[in-house]
């Protein structure tokens, strides 16, 4: 089983962010969140992976983090070699918090976004250069088994040269994983962008080449890793693995239906999650499309692990039908593998839309 815990609290709302988060929450509300987790969290299987996201999990105080990790260790039974990931923002890190994280997780993900303080200010990212450098130093000293930095490209006021300098800085920090996201127009984000801005699509191939030369393979549209640095939690979920979501707006998947927890106020009241029930065929199409975000794509062996999956031959037929109406150079299709090319990954949304709608 894969577990996801959503910690919805942030110091402030960044302009690019469309995730569910609550800026400026006090200690009392965070304690109420922990109390509801303690009341409601009942595991349903041994943990292969745990992912703690947000929001900003590291905004919790040291005592609150201790309480959170106590809950995990008291309630969960972990598989041997389980991956435990946690996100955090540099301005919220202290020596004590980093030490606590190092005792309890195997993978840390730092939301840097940009190494340029002026660019960070443009997108509402409140982190001083001093705080950023200190946080990197603390994480380096802690020697996490794996750690990631999030970077955003095509930001307002950010030159291409500045982005690549930041990527080089990240690599020198010792990360074995880098997530590179294009700044896109999100419906719920504060920062509004022109819909026809194609700067990101022109820059991405250069980023792929740059990181590839440094030994970082593009294993998913926005994620690059050194060998062994891939995020196992995300890979499992992309391939249709079972997922237990805990916390406001967290999602889960029981092998048939998806469900989404309520927003904080209703979640604190214990209201049941919202169900996303669709036909078995539509669910398989959804799973099939999502893992085409990865460079590896599908093999017969991977597809056979999908709960309730149809035959590999049927998947080959579907993708051939979809490919017939799109660009041929977007696809790799054989008896051994179905994947998207680099060009195809650039147009994943178009491919996924065709797969989602197939047979409906």
How confident is the model over 268-277, as pLDDT tens digits? 999 999 999 9
pLDDT number for residue 85? 98
The continuous run of DSSP H or E covering 316 comes out as helix 312-324
Choice between 7 and 24, residue whose per-residue pLDDT is larger: 7
Q: Is the pLDDT of residue 36 over 60?
A: yes
Residues 303 and 228 in one domain: no
Is omega for the bond preceding 55 within 30 degrees of 0, making it cis? yes
Domain presence at residue 269:
no
Q: Is the pLDDT of residue 197 over 90?
A: no
Residues 185 and 330 in one domain: no
Domain presence at residue 264:
no
Residues 184 and 287 in one domain: no
Residues 78 and 191 in one domain: yes
What CATH number should be reported for the domain holding residue 349? Answer: 1.10.10
Domain presence at residue 266:
no
Q: pLDDT confidence of 125, banded at 50, 70, 90?
A: confident
pLDDT number for residue 14? 81
Q: pLDDT confidence of 15, banded at 50, 70, 90?
A: confident
Beta strand pairing call for 107-113 and 78-88: parallel
Residues 75 and 209 in one domain: yes
pLDDT number for residue 190? 53
For residues 52-57, average pLDDT: 96
Residues 101 and 175 in one domain: yes
Decide if 36 contacts 262 (C-beta within 8 A).
no
Residues 94 and 15 in one domain: yes
Domain presence at residue 159:
yes
Summary mean pLDDT of the chain: 94
Range of lowest pLDDT (8-12, 243-247, 263-267, 270-274): 8-12
What CATH number should be reported for the domain holding residue 66? Answer: 3.20.20.70
Domain presence at residue 178:
yes
Domain presence at residue 307:
yes
pLDDT number for residue 189? 53
Residues 231 and 283 in one domain: no
Domain presence at residue 273:
no
Choice between 360 and 123, residue whose per-residue pLDDT is larger: 123
Q: Is the pLDDT of residue 74 over 90?
A: yes
Decide if 223 contacts 243 (C-beta within 8 A).
no
Residues 214 and 287 in one domain: no
Residues 72 and 160 in one domain: yes
Q: Each residue of 170-187: pLDDT tens digit?
A: 999 999 999 999 976 555
What span, in angstroms and rounded, lies between the C-alpha atoms of 189 and 139?
Answer: 29
Q: Is the pLDDT of residue 261 over 50?
A: yes
pLDDT number for residue 196? 42
What span, in angstroms and rounded, lies between the C-alpha atoms of 248 and 5?
Answer: 9
Domain count, the chain: 2
First vs last C-alpha separation in the chain: 31
- What is the distance of C-alpha 146 from the center of its chain? 15
Handedness of CA 296, 300, 306, 308 (dihedral sign): positive
Residues 217 and 288 in one domain: no
Decide if 343 contacts 327 (C-beta within 8 A).
yes
Residues 231 and 284 in one domain: no
Residue-number span of the structural domain to which 340 is assigned: 279-360
**φ/ψ (deg, to 5) at 54:** -160, -155
Q: pLDDT confidence of 195, banded at 50, 70, 90?
A: very low
Domain presence at residue 113:
yes
What span, in angstroms and rounded, lies between the C-alpha atoms of 260 and 249?
Answer: 6
């Amino acid at each position: 089983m894969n577990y996801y815990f959503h910690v919805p609290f942030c110091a402030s709302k960044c302009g690019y962010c469309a995730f569910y988060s609550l800026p400026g929450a006090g200690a009392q509300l965070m304690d109420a969140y922990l109390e509801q987790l303690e009341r409601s969290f009942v595991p349903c299987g041994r943990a292969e992976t745990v992912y703690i996201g947000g929001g900003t999990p590291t905004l919790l105080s040291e005592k609150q983090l201790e309480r959170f990790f106590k809950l995990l260790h008291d309630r969960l039974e972990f598989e041997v070699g389980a991956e435990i990931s946690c996100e955090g923002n540099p301005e919220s890190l202290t020596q004590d918090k980093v030490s606590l994280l190092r005792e309890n997780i195997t993978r840390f993900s730092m939301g840097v976004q940009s190494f340029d303080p002026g660019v960070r200010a443009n997108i509402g990212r409140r982190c001083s250069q001093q705080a950023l450098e200190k946080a990197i130093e603390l994480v380096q000293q802690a020697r996490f088994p794996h750690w990631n930095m999030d970077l955003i490209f095509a930001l307002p006021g950010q030159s291409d040269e500045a982005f690549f300098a930041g990527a080089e800085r990240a690599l020198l920090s010792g990360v074995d994983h880098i997530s590179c996201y294009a700044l896109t127009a999100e419906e719920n984000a504060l920062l509004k962008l022109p819909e026809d801005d194609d700067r990101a699509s022109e820059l991405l191939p250069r980023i792929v080449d740059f990181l590839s030369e440094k030994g970082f393979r593009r294993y998913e549209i926005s994620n690059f890793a050194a060998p062994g640095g891939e995020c196992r939690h995300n890979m499992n979920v992309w391939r249709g693995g079972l997922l237990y979501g805990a916390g406001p707006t967290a999602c889960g998947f029981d092998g048939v239906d998806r469900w989404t927890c309520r927003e904080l106020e209703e979640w604190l009241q214990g209201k049941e999650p919202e169900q996303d029930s669709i036909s078995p065929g539509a669910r398989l199409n959804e799973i099939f499309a999502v893992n085409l975000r990865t460079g590896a794509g599908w093999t017969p062996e991977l597809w056979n692990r999908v709960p309730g999956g149809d035959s590999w031959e049927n998947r080959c037929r579907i993708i051939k039908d979809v490919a017939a109406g799109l660009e041929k150079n977007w696809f790799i299709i054989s008896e051994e593998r179905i994947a998207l090319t680099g060009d195809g990954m650039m147009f994943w949304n178009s491919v996924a839309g065709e797969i989602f709608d197939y047979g409906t």
